[in-house]
Amino acid sequence: MNATSEDIKDMLEAETGLDLVFGENLFISREPSNPNNTVTIFDTIGRPDQLTFNRSERYEYPSVQIRVRNTRSGDAWDIIEKIKVALHGRAHETWNDTYYSVIHCISGPALLDWDDNDRIRLIINFNVQRR
């Protein structure tokens, strides 16, 4: 099973309206200082996995944070809204052999800060259920 961020990355790359390309303007776990306009996905702590008598049965509740950085505030809001539309409520899909029951936006979009280079950073958090 991939890290959740890996599969979310594939979902976002497949969204044509977002124009995100992994390694160019879409990143995982580490937000590079360049280019200016980026989308970065972070795996964050979710709820505990389901535990049943069948140890081979897996059902996970991970979370991800997606951070959008942009030199223009309006563009950043536009991108993060598109990401929310693309992911929130997404259900019953299989990505890289992992079944995603549902993806649920739990907070955001919200302003994180303006970084040292005067680029706006917005965040949005998602809870995921998968097996």
Site of interaction with other proteins (CB under 8 A): 29-31, 40, 42, 44-48, 63, 65, 67, 104, 106-107, 110, 112-113, 123, 125, 127
Pick 14 or 59: Cβ nearer other proteins:
59
Q: Is 22 exposed, middle or buried (0-12, 13-18, 19+ CB in 10 A)?
A: middle
Residue 52 CA to residue 104 CA, distance in Å, equals: 24
- Taking the complex as a whole, the smallest distance from the CB of residue 106 to other proteins amounts, in Å, to 4
The H or E element that residue 73 is part of is helix 73-87
Pick 12 or 105: Cβ nearer other proteins:
105
Residue 120 CA to residue 69 CA, distance in Å, equals: 6
User: What is the chain's length?
Assistant: 131
- Taking the complex as a whole, the smallest distance from the CB of residue 109 to other proteins amounts, in Å, to 12
- Taking the complex as a whole, the smallest distance from the CB of residue 120 to other proteins amounts, in Å, to 14
